[in-house]
Chains A and B, each alone.
Chain A
């Protein structure tokens, strides 16, 4: 580890040296292509220690691919490029499968959208949980079982001893997702990537799982990259938000800033899709954005949203500038601040 407080050592620090003050996860200009399709087109985002960063967007916009690319779990045929991909200050762009597997499950963990199929049907909950600790720490079985039971209790599962001996098919979806979360926490990771962890669950269970994630984050101080398409979720637990559209982050900023002053037409469109009790009138249709996320060929220029955007104009087919829209708030749009008739809601800070 770096000797903290020694300023001279810090000055000689290269890009690849872990720094005490480095962000937990730094992604700069990440690109992922599958054959002739650009799934992710130059995404940049940061997750600070102990922060929840939400990546929001419609299905097919590249959220999951982004998270899999960060974990090095892209399906065969996926090509990843980035200007920077650093975990806790260490560049992991050139890490091979062996080096990544040392990080995964240990310092960076991931949970998935499909709790029903993400656990191996052939092994007990206990066996699947303990193997993480045994692999990364060489912990003896008995101790690993204790740790697994403790974490099952922590994620709100009663009778952990019983559950450890059960098979996935004996558990409900909500329980399985709790098991996945507990399993991800086995090695006390610094970063947890959660790819739509509540999408496949009942609404009541969704709320429980989100509360659980928020609680765990506060308690353990881990950084969370939460992938979701649900802005209601974002508003409740995110510190920062990145809105993705067709493989790009079109707008990002601190949650309150972004929700209070959404700049991109797409973000505004998404926000009108959320029903708010009391605000949405009974007979008025909910907002929706017509069309679907287009398939983007490599080398595409201009705003990918322009075909669906009611405010599109000639400039939208050219290079789009990324402009500051507030403290830590950036937007990828040609429209000037305060369109269409002055800023909505509040003054620029």
Chain B
């Protein structure tokens, strides 16, 4: 188990370093930073001043090492646009995005797991087909469109929920539903296929031959094994939700990391863009690592692998 942990951790750190390097290179590849910061109306002298001020005149590897050294300490420099530390900007907005992602994933799991299990138990009945049909529709529905529909219906017509903005728990309901809706189909299909496979396995026959209760057969013996791929996909989905919150946060005008990314991209605010990409990537890596660990808890065979 310790060996397994160490190996996964090493891989995670290596991937993180690669991401750090890539996110540095990404901004340098898009041309001379000093020129784009200075703007189209700047003189050559202005550009030179900016180059000096931001240290862009130093050799690239020095810039890289300097940036890396600061980034590891959580220092991403100052925003060009917001007149604030990048770390402060992200620190203030990350909780909003994280909450939104967790609400979305939570809702998705609450709906997808039971439906997937029911569809598997009732395989090839009208119930199964209905559930799969809903999954298909859900998969085909664009999330910004669903967001607008919900705004009109729940917000304007019924007046149940605030339409947009950042605030108390009620502000997370609609975006949460929209995010969940995008994750439900794949989680449900995976739960269903995993359960169908598990339920037809020999160990389920053994569990039945032992006279165990239906609940124990389905959940303890069946779902425990079907859950392994679901955990992996759930982690990926959460990463998707955090990264993809750019659309949802913009639609619902929630001031999370996604909204920040959208603002800073439109303002050429490189340090912020760079940091947002980096933070989201690191979260993604952490989630994958977490999924691996959870799977190792679920499946003892993975621990020795």
Q: Which of A118-139 contact B (CB under 8 A)?
A: 118-124, 131-132, 135-136
Complex CA gap A102/B225 in Å reads 25
* Proximity string of chain B (218-254) to chain A, C-beta cutoff 8 Å, 1 when within and 0 when not: 0001001100000000000000000000000000000
Whether A131 contacts B205 by the Cβ 8 Å rule is no
CB <8 Å contact, A131 and B206: no
Bound form: Cα–Cα A183–B207 in Å? 11
Binds A, one of B57-65, B75-83, B295-303: B295-303
The chain B residue sitting closest to A109, CB to CB, is: B209
A64 to chain B, nearest CB (A): 11
- Check A112 for interface membership: any CB of B closer than 8 A: yes
Q: Does A71 contact B (CB under 8 A)?
A: yes
Q: Check A73 for interface membership: any CB of B closer than 8 A.
A: yes
Taking the complex as formed, is B7 at the interface, i.e. its CB lies under 8 A from any CB of chain A? no
- Contact among A106, A120, A180 for B211, CB-based, below 8 A: A106
Contact B301 A121 (CB under 8 A): yes
Q: How far is the CA of A92 from the CA of B154 in the complex (A)?
A: 55
A219 interfacial by beta-carbon distance below 8 Å: no
Q: What is the minimal beta-carbon distance from A137 to any residue of chain B, in angstroms?
A: 11
User: Given A120-B221, A169-B301, are A112 and B202 also a contact pair (CB < 8 Å)?
Assistant: yes
Judged by a CB distance under 8 angstroms, whether B30 is at the interface is no
Q: Are A135 and B202 interface neighbours, CB within 8 A?
A: no
Chain B residues, Cβ within 8 Å of A100: 211
Q: Which of A73, A110, A117, A132 contacts B203 (CB 8 A)?
A: A117
Q: Closest B-chain residue to A166, C-beta based? A: B300
Interface residue B213 (Cβ < 8 Å from any Cβ of A): yes
Q: By the criterion CB–CB under 8 Å, are B212 and A101 in contact? A: yes
**Does B216 interact with chain A (Cβ within 8 Å)?**
yes
The interface bits of chain B over 189-212 (1 if a CB of A lies within 8 angstroms of the residue's CB, else 0) are 000000000000111011111111
Distance to closest chain A CB from B300 (angstroms): 4
> Which residues of A lie under 8 Å from residue B214 when comparing CB positions?
97, 101
Chain B residues positioned under 8 Å from A150 (CB to CB)? none
Cβ distance A177 to chain B, nearest Cβ, rounded Å = 12
> Residues of A contacting B202 with CB < 8 Å?
112, 114, 117-118
Residues of A within 8 Å of B212, CB to CB, are 101, 105, 131-132, 135
**Contact count band on A:** 20 to 34
A122 touches B298 (CB 8 A): yes
Could you tell me the distance between the alpha carbons of A124 and B299 in the complex, rounded to whole angstroms? 11
**Secondary structure dominating the interface of B:** helix
In whole angstroms, how far apart are the Cα atoms of A135 and B212 in the complex?
7
Q: Are A122 and B211 in contact (CB under 8 A)?
A: no
Give the number of chain B interface residues (Cβ < 8 Å): 22
Report whether A121 and B210 are in contact in the complex, using a CB–CB cutoff of 8 Å: no
Known: A131-B216, A135-B216. A121 touches B207 (CB 8 A): no
Contact at A132–B210, with CB atoms within 8 Å? yes
Q: List, in ascending order, chain A residues with CB within 8 A of B210's CB.
A: 104-105, 109, 131-132, 135, 183
Give B263-289 interface residues, CB cut-off 8 Å to A: none
Expressed in whole angstroms, the Cα–Cα distance for A123 and B208 within the complex equals 16
- A169 and B300 within 8 A (CB): yes
- Report Cα–Cα, A112/B213, bound state, in Å: 20
A103 located at the interface, meaning its Cβ lies under 8 Å from any Cβ of chain B in the complex: yes
Query: Chain A residue with minimal CB distance to B204?
Result: A120
Give every chain B residue within 8 A of A120 (Cβ-Cβ): 203, 206-207, 221, 224-225
Which residues of the other chain, A, contact B213 by a CB distance below 8 angstroms?
A: 101, 135
Flag B89-112 by CB within 8 Å of A: 1 or 0 each. 000000000000000000000000
CA of A138 to CA of B269 in the docked complex: distance in angstroms?
66
B300: chain A residues at CB < 8 Å are 121-122, 124, 167, 169
A73-B205, A112-B202, A131-B216 known; A121-B299 Cβ under 8 A: yes
Q: Among the listed B205, B211, B299, which residue makes an inter-chain contact with A112, where contact means beta carbons less than 8 Å apart? A: B205
B297 nearest CB across to chain A (Å): 10
Residues in A neighbouring B216, C-beta threshold 8 A:
131, 135
Q: Are A112 and B206 closer than 8 Å at their CB atoms?
A: yes
Given A131-B216, A169-B300, A121 and B203 touching (CB < 8 A)?
yes
Please tell me if the beta carbons of A103 and B211 are within 8 angstroms of each other in the complex.
yes
What is the minimal beta-carbon distance from B212 to any residue of chain A, in angstroms?
Answer: 6
How many angstroms between the C-alpha atoms of A207 and B202 in the bound complex? 24
Residue of A nearest to B222 (CB): A120
CB of A105 within 8 A of CB of B225, answer: no
- Docked Cα-Cα span, A102 to B211, in Å, equals 6
CA distance A103 to B225 in the complex (A): 26
A343 shortest CB reach to chain B, Å: 42
Q: What's the least CB distance linking B304 to chain A, in Å?
A: 8
Q: Are the CB atoms of B301 and A167 closer together than 8 Å?
A: yes
Interface residue ranges of A124-164 to B (CB < 8 Å): 124, 131-132, 135-136
B→A interface (CB under 8 Å): 201-203, 205-214, 216, 221, 224-225, 298-301, 304
- Of the A-B pairs whose beta carbons lie under 8 Å apart in the complex, a sample of 6, sorted by A's number, is A109-B209, A117-B202, A120-B221, A120-B225, A121-B301, A122-B221
Residues of chain A touching chain B, judged by Cβ–Cβ distance below 8 Å, are 71, 73, 97, 100-106, 109-110, 112, 114, 117-124, 131-132, 135-136, 167, 169, 180, 183
19 new A-B contacts, CB < 8 A, other than A104-B211, A118-B202, A124-B300, are: A71-B209, A73-B208, A101-B213, A109-B209, A112-B205, A114-B202, A117-B202, A119-B206, A122-B225, A122-B299, A131-B210, A132-B210, A135-B210, A135-B211, A135-B212, A135-B213, A169-B301, A169-B304, A183-B210
**Interface pairs A-B: 5 shortest CB-CB:** A105-B211, A104-B211, A105-B210, A117-B202, A120-B203
